[in-house]
Amino acid sequence: MRIGIPKEVKVREGRVALIPPAVGELIQQGHEVFIQSSAGVASGYPDEDYRRVGAQLVPDAAALYGSAEMVLKVKEPIAAEYELLRQDHILFSYLHLAATPKLAQLLKEKRLTAVAFETVEANGRLPLLVPMSDIAGRLAVHIGTTLLHGYGGGRGIMLGGMPSTERGHVVILGAGAAGGNAAVMAAALGAQVTVFAPRREELERMHALGPNVTALPSYAPLIAEAVYNADLLIGAVLIPGAKAPKLVSAAMVRKMKPGSVIIDISVDQGGCIETIRPTDYEHPTYTVDGVIHFGVTNMPGAVPRTASQALSTVLTPYVLRLAAEAGLNDPALAKGINVAGGKFVHPAVAAALAH
């Protein structure tokens, strides 16, 4: 198969779908790989590294999309890329269509096949979402710690506290890959951590992180009380393919302390906090009722080298499977198909877009 890897164009997005050793593996298996010039540079992989493993460098996006049967991206296409997509393309990328109806409609009209990383499912897990969620969860605590500094309007606290001071209170909604990693980081800093999740096994895993972690079922009154006391509130819930449920209302945000911080990682699926809206790394934050909000939809884009290496590792076997004979009939990849033949074919995506 002819596999094309474009340079990412979203604001400050430096990830690349595959790093050179992974591209080398696809070529060894008999595929042709085209890569847009400088696609790997922000991740520390110059064109020469791709050329050395046998990839064909192409100068621009038009040539790249023109050469490819499979377009392998990181972030969902943005307006500038729409006209480059063709009916015979297989688009394999993060898509988050429930939160991007305009793109969803366009993909339907193009009648191409769009396979979303975030709904590929194997053994009840989302293998292509996990590494980016792991990174986003960890980054949420790095970023939240900095936003709490006083010079930018934060509460002026250190989350772990010091002898003779209070500890900061971190509240996390969701205990999957993103929420779980955020909890690990916040607990290691010494913060007082409260995690909400609906499933008993997740609560057990969070409780076991240490004596400074409280794991609670996600009942509305318990969430409301914890949010009121939070210094850093992190949203990390997911119902695959669907819009995130709103667990925190604007009225609850209004009662939070001035200078406290909200990071809603699930903003890419619409967010679980009513006051969140998508932002980017050029303008990552805004303030509502004195509370700092961070809604960047491509958080791992801040650490492109780490993120590209992690993504490449999980992606390579699935690219090989998609390019093989079984292709779209592979059971894990079949769950990833969001759009095909002019229809939304993933049930949760179709339901979300029907409203």
- Distance from C-alpha of 228 to C-alpha of 321, rounded to nearest angstrom: 47
Helix (H) or strand (E) holding 116: strand 113-116
Task: Give the x-and-dash track for 172-191 against ligand NAD (CB under 6 A).
Answer: -xxxxxxx------------
**Phi and psi torsions of 290, nearest 5°:** 80, 0
Burial class of residue 341 in the structure, from the number of CB atoms within 10 Å of its CB (0-12 exposed, 13-18 middle, 19+ buried) = exposed
Active site residue 47: no
Write out the two tokens for 295.
Answer: 């809604």
Task: Give the x-and-dash track for 277-316 against ligand NAD (CB under 6 A).
Answer: --------------------xxxx----------------
DSSP 8-state code for residue 122:
B
Q: Report if residue 17 touches ligand NAD, rule: CB under 6 A.
A: no
Query: Which residue lies nearer to ligand NAD by CB, 41 or 242?
Result: 242
Q: Report if residue 196 touches ligand NAD, rule: CB under 6 A.
A: yes
> Candidates 72-80, 106-114, 265-273, 330-338 — which segment interacts with ligand NAD by CB under 6 A?
265-273
The catalytic residue among 134, 231, 264, 268 is 268
Query: Which residue lies nearer to ligand NAD by CB, 4 or 77?
Result: 77
Query: Which residue lies nearer to ligand NAD by CB, 17 or 299?
Result: 299
- Distance from C-alpha of 34 to C-alpha of 59, rounded to nearest angstrom: 10
Judge contact between 213 and 189, C-beta under 8 A: no
Among 194, 266, 309, 312, binds ligand NAD (CB under 6 A): 266
Number of residues that bind ligand NAD (CB under 6 A): 34
Q: Report if residue 202 touches ligand NAD, rule: CB under 6 A.
A: yes
Q: Shortest approach of ligand NAD to residue 261 CB, angstroms?
A: 15
Among 159, 261, 265, 302, binds ligand NAD (CB under 6 A): 265
Range list of H helices, the chain: 20-28, 47-52, 61-67, 79-82, 101-110, 130-147, 177-189, 200-207, 220-229, 250-254, 304-323, 331-334, 347-354
Q: Shortest approach of ligand NAD to residue 348 CB, angstroms?
A: 12
Q: H/E/C letters for each residue in 303-340?
A: CHHHHHHHHHHHHHHHHHHHHCCCHHHCHHHHCCEEEE
Scan for tokens 């969070």, then name that residue. 206
Pairing outcome for strands 285-288 and 291-294: antiparallel
Q: How many other C-beta atoms lie within 10 A of the C-beta of residue 355?
A: 7
Q: Report if residue 239 touches ligand NAD, rule: CB under 6 A.
A: yes
Q: Report if residue 21 touches ligand NAD, rule: CB under 6 A.
A: no
Q: Report if residue 268 touches ligand NAD, rule: CB under 6 A.
A: yes
**Phi and psi torsions of 161, nearest 5°:** 70, -175
Q: Shortest approach of ligand NAD to residue 165 CB, angstroms?
A: 30
- Distance from C-alpha of 300 to C-alpha of 94, rounded to nearest angstrom: 13
Query: Which residue lies nearer to ligand NAD by CB, 36 or 133?
Result: 133
Write out the two tokens for 93.
Answer: 């990328």
> Candidates 11-19, 64-72, 143-151, 267-275 — which segment interacts with ligand NAD by CB under 6 A?
267-275
* DSSP codes of every residue in 234-274: EE----TTSPPP--B-HHHHHTSPTT-EEEEGGGGGT-SBT
Interface with ligand NAD in residues 89-148 (CB under 6 A): 118, 129-130, 132-133, 136
Among 2, 102, 199, 255, binds ligand NAD (CB under 6 A): 199
- Distance from C-alpha of 18 to C-alpha of 31, rounded to nearest angstrom: 14
The catalytic residue among 96, 169, 293, 346 is 96
Task: Provide the annotated active-site residues.
Answer: 96, 268
Interface with ligand NAD by CB under 6 A: which residues? 118, 129-130, 132-133, 136, 173-179, 196-199, 202, 218, 236-239, 245, 247, 265-269, 297-300
